[in-house]
Amino acid sequence: MFFRTVMAAGLMAGAGMVAAQETVTGESLYFNHCAACHGMELDGQGVMSGVMIIKPKDLTVLAQANDGVFPVLQVVTRIDGRDPLVSHGSPMPVYGDFFEGSDAFLKSELGQPIATSAPVVALVEYIESLQK
């Protein structure tokens, strides 16, 4: 009986962890990992922007600056580290392997699949949804 109770508790705890992982959104990822530099409004005016050599971009005008097409490939590779940006003192992202991986896919602006991580997909979709 004790074993079954412990086993059931373990399964329920594991199910809770899966549910918690599923609730991670692009918006929450942005506010936890990006807003300090890029700002609460994605405008490049975060609290850390004043100390950076290369100022953060206004993420709301990426499509506008690219003839109306959201630059999916450029954004993905900047976030996941394949296209490093050293204004942080180290390549972006400064969150290590959190944004690394290839367990998810997005389509580039030209329709080709881009392998990346699930957090990057969520974050890119959030940023794309807020384009002016």
Kindly tell me if the per-residue pLDDT of 19 is higher than 80. Answer: no
More confident position, 111 or 3: 111
Q: Mean pLDDT of all residues in the chain?
A: 81
Kindly tell me if the per-residue pLDDT of 90 is higher than 70. Answer: no
Average pLDDT over residues 4-9: 40
Which of the residue ranges 36-40, 61-65, 90-94, 106-110 would you say has the lowest mean pLDDT?
90-94
Interacting residues of 122 by C-beta distance below 8 A, sequence separation 6+: 24, 25, 26, 29
pTM: 0.76
Residue 66: phi, psi to the nearest 5?
Answer: -120, 45
Structure tokens at 20: 């918690």
Name which of 125, 83, 128, 81 is nearest 100 in CA terms.
Answer: 81
Kindly report, residue by residue over 28-41, the tens digit of the pLDDT.
999 999 999 999 99
pLDDT band at 93 (very low <50, low <70, confident <90, very high): low
Report the alpha-carbon distance of residue 2 to residue 72 in Å, rounded: 52
Kindly report, residue by residue over 46-82, the tens digit of the pLDDT.
999 998 888 899 999 999 999 999 999 999 988 888 8
Kindly tell me if the per-residue pLDDT of 1 is higher than 60. Answer: no
